[in-house]
Amino acid sequence: MRPSQFSALGLALFLIGSVFVCTGGQLQSIETDLSALLKIREVLIDTRGVLNDWTIGNRAIICTWRGVICKNARIYELRLPGAGLKGHIADVIGYLGELRKLNLHSNSLTGSIPASLSNCRFLSDLDLFQNELSGTIPTDLVARLQALETLNLARNKLSGRIPLEIGKLINLRVLDVADNLLSGGIPEGISNCQKLSILNLQGNLFYGNLPAELGSLPGLTSLDLSGNLLFGDISLQLRNCTYLQVINLGRNRLSGNIPQYFGSLIRLRTLRLEENKLIGTVPDQLANATLLEYLSLGANNLSGPIPATLGNLTWLRTLNLSHNSLSGSIPLELSRLSNLVVLLVNNNRLTSSVPSSFSQLTALQALSLASNNLSGPIPQSLGEISNLEWLSLGSNNLSGTIPTEIGFLHRLTFLSLSFNKLVGEIPYSLSWCYPLKTLELEENALSGSIPPSLGSLLHLQVLDVSGNNLSGLLPPELGNCVELIRLDVSGQNLFGSIPLEYFALYKLESFSADYNSLAGPIPTGFAASCGVLEVFSVKGNNLNGSIPPDLGAHPHLSVLDLSHNSMSGNIPSALGRDFSLMVLSLSNNQLTGPVPEELGDLFNLKELDLGLNQLSGGIPSKLVRCSNLSSLDIHGNKLSGDIPSEIGELQHLRILWLQNNTLQGSIPSTFGGLTLLQNLNLSDNKLSGTLPLSLDDLNNLQSLDLSNNNFQGSIPQALLKFNVTSFIGNPLLCTKAGCTGLPASSPQQSQQQPSANSTATGERRRWCPREIVGFSIGGGVLGLILLSLLCCLGITCHALRKPEETCVNALPSTDAQVVMFSEPLTFAHIQEATGQFDEDHVLSRTRHGIVFKAILKDGTVLSVRRLPDGQIEENLFRAETEMLGKVRHQNLTILRGYYVHGDVRLLIYDYMPNGSLASLLHEASQQDGHALNWPMRHLIALGVARGLSFLHTQCDPPIIHGDVKPNNVQFDADFEAHLSDFGLERFTATPTDPSSSSIPAGSVGCVSPETGNSGQLTREADVYSFGIVLLELLTGRRPAMFTTHDEDIVKWVKRMLQTGQITELFDPSLLDLDPESSEWEEFLLAVKVALLCTAPDPVDRPSMSEVIFMLEGCRVGPEMLTSSSDPTSHPSPM
């Protein structure tokens, strides 16, 4: 065969083969798509049967399957939005090689986003909005899908950073990852997405400054970065984005001034900058953005007047300038905003009057001018705003009467005129506002009666007329308002009885009628009919009769206050079944009989006040079961018997009043466990015995009265700070300098309540016998008799003193000098102060030795850490302690000195009398966690952060703590937080073996993943540990609690956030936070900061300086102001 013939045949065979391959390839591709869809179907849970036709039997009509769209015999689109699908997305989805659009939004898909999607190289639209997907955004997804135009991953559970490769999506027009847990900074590479039109990153954990690169996106029309942790100023980043229509930077921590250039963005329709830290004035130039429809600048630090030029924004529908410091009058020009629907300028410093010209705002639905300094009358013309639904003028200085014309607002649902100076009667016309749900008129000077016509407001949920001068009867007609949730008529001149018609208020949660002249009995059945009642308070009336037993066993009742009435009979034992009860106040009545033991079953009870009745019998020991009790007042009764020792187990107790009874026996030594006790009054009883030394541990005690009893012996050292009147009437009591011979008090003195006068204002004066004789009596003969008696008592008191304990440990020479950085001290002083290092002085034991409490002769209390013997060479020990002794910061424990001799190594610190954060949160079934409100927790977190940041940035060389945990957060006498145990790793003789467990004792759950694996201590590891401590501080939950289901405290917090179970995050003492309050938002911001600190990748964690900045942004108040005395701003001399 000739070569030419061979070539022709070969070409023919090649062409035939090519056709065969192409045909076979096409068949193979559709088979691949079919196989992929069937495998995707296998892992999905089809709750609605939408995938019933996805079966092998229908393979011939695959392109007609539900949600499948084909083109050129290949799957081109897959659309199954809102189909009720569960399960995960199978990796085989990457085999759909011709897929252009994937829409699975609004399902319940879990698991991660398959990285195999990056194989669908033609994919242009990816919509996985509103599922439960977790994990990170796959890097390959953004690196390889260069045809992608729309990427919507919003409302999932994604975490980590946006991959830097996002800049490779050069065709991207829409990027929406809102409402996830993404963190880190906004990637600079996003500037390469030159076609980007919509960028939505709101509701994540992004932090850092706004990148200047945003200004290089010329086609950007919508930018939403709200609800993150961004800081810094806005400056010029967005000046060149002239196509912007929506800018939402709200709910961040941005600072500086509002840029004037916003006014040059002539296409702008929405500008939201609320809840930041912006300062300065509202720029006049904003009026140049004439298309603005939504302008929200609320909750910043803006000052100056409201610009009159805003009246030129004729398209404006919402104007929010609330919660700033704006001053001056409300510009009349705002009346020109004929399209305005919402006007909020509340919580500013505005003066002058309410403009009557607001009647021109005919489209207005919500008007809030509350919490300003407005004066003058309420304009009658407001009644002409016929569309008005919300009118709030409270907390001003408005005067005059309530205009009848308000009743013409037939769409009104909310009316608040409270805390003004309004007079006259409540107008009958208010009953014409039929949709009204909230009517707040409290704290004015209104007179007359409560109009019975208000009973026609069938939608009314809140009626508060407290703090006026109203008189007459409670209108029975209010029983028609069956939607009522809260009714408050306190502080009036109302009389008569509680109407039986109120039984119909089955939705009533709170009823308050305090300080009126109501009489008669409490209707039996009232509480039972109001089945969701939470608050029933009628104190300060003339109610009589017995307490209805049906007030017991109420499932929701949390506050029951019947005090200051004329109630009689026994306390019903059924009250012990009100398991939600937190406050029970029955004082100042005529109740008799015993204190029911059943009250001990009220495990949520915080305040129990039964004082000034005629109760008899003993104090039930069962009250110890009320473990949350903070105030116990049973004074002024006829109680007898001993004080139960179990009272000392009520670790939350702050107030204990048992005075004016006939109690006997001694003070239980368990009282030393009441470490939070502030006010103790046991006066005017028949108590005896010595005062227990455990009372020395009551470091928070501010008021003490033990007068008029039969105590004897020495007064404990810590109680000597109180005035002599605290012990008067106990002639056998002694100070350590000798017997005081404290005389009996007069009857007038014995009836006094504890007051500020009973606390120390300086060093307690020592009374000598001569002074006491002169003070007590004037007669010479009686003086000689008393002097003789005192001498005898002096001998008795001396004999009662406890003998010195003997030394049981062999210790070095006692004359050796302790190296102190201030005053001199010897080892003998330390021995004596710690009782020869006695077990009774032990404060804690750690891997770095034993910590002792040392009480010097002059009353100074120190903390002495004895390191394990011989662990570090002497010269190295001296060098390290000299360096640590130079570290000074208000949130670090200060090393005052050290001692080294032979194998003994001592470190001397200031004593922290209020214990550790761990004990405050958790000891005795978390008894102390309830003591911490949100502001206190925030200050603790900020203090620890400042101390740790100082170690990282201001010490040379930097100090890595290595063991940040609640046990190492200590509190001084003022409850200032101090980070302790830093630098102790320097005293470890040999480095920790990375192969062995490097987790310090007590640090379970606080150690970062990388430290747990390698044992290496880094700043990033400290940040992680701080984040865990912050989560424990916020939630009250120990990290060690999470030991099942592969879930730690970080994962648990994320799960609660993602499932909307926000209240599960709150420590029980924070559950009363209002979801609408700023504190609720501040708490959630702190949670976000903690999650940033605990990012799995150390690179993603902020520095402690950044943490401080973010925590300071969580609250705005006087405590956030910096001063020149803040040691954080000064470098350590180390």
Write out the catalytic residue numbers: 963
Burial class (CB in 10 A: 0-12, 13-18, 19+), 804: exposed
* DSSP classification of residue 341: -
Q: 325 near 303, Cβ under 8 Å?
A: yes
Burial class (CB in 10 A: 0-12, 13-18, 19+), 285: middle
E strands within 204-274?
A: 205-208, 222-224, 229-233, 246-248, 253-257, 270-272
Pairing of strands 895-901, 277-279: unpaired
Tell me how far apart the alpha carbons of residues 1028 and 493 are, in angstroms, rounded to a whole number.
Answer: 54
Secondary structure (DSSP) of 444-510: S--BS---GGGGG-TT--EEE--SS--EEEPPGGGGG-TT--EEE--SSEEEE---GGGGG-TT--E
The token pair at 1011 is 């430290």
- Cα distances (angstroms) measured from residue 504 to each of 472, 499, 507, 536, 557: 22, 10, 9, 16, 18
Residue 995: CB partners within 8 Å, gap ≥ 6? none
CA atoms within 13 A of residue 543's CA, in its CB half-sphere: 29
User: Length of the chain, please?
Assistant: 1134
Beta-carbon neighbour count of residue 894 at 10 Å? 17
Angle at 963 between CA 830 and CA 850, to 5 degrees: 25
Other C-beta atoms closer than 10 Å to the C-beta of 28 total: 11
Kindly report the CA angle at 980 between 978 and 982, in degrees rounded to 5? Answer: 130
Q: Directed axis angle between helix 1019-1035 and helix 1078-1093, to 10°? A: 150
Residue 1124: C-alpha distances to residues 14, 1107, 1127, 1129 (Å): 86, 21, 8, 8
Residues 6+ apart with CB under 8 A from 697: 672, 673, 675, 718
Residue listed under structure tokens 């309420």: 378
What token pair was written down for 451? 């109009």
Q: Give the burial class of 213: count Cβ atoms within 10 A of its Cβ; 0-12 exposed, 13-18 middle, 19 or more buried.
A: middle
**CB atoms closer than 10 angstroms to residue 747:** 9
The answer to whether 533 touches 554, Cβ cutoff 8 Å, is yes
Q: Strands of 944-1028 (E only): list them.
A: 969-971, 977-979
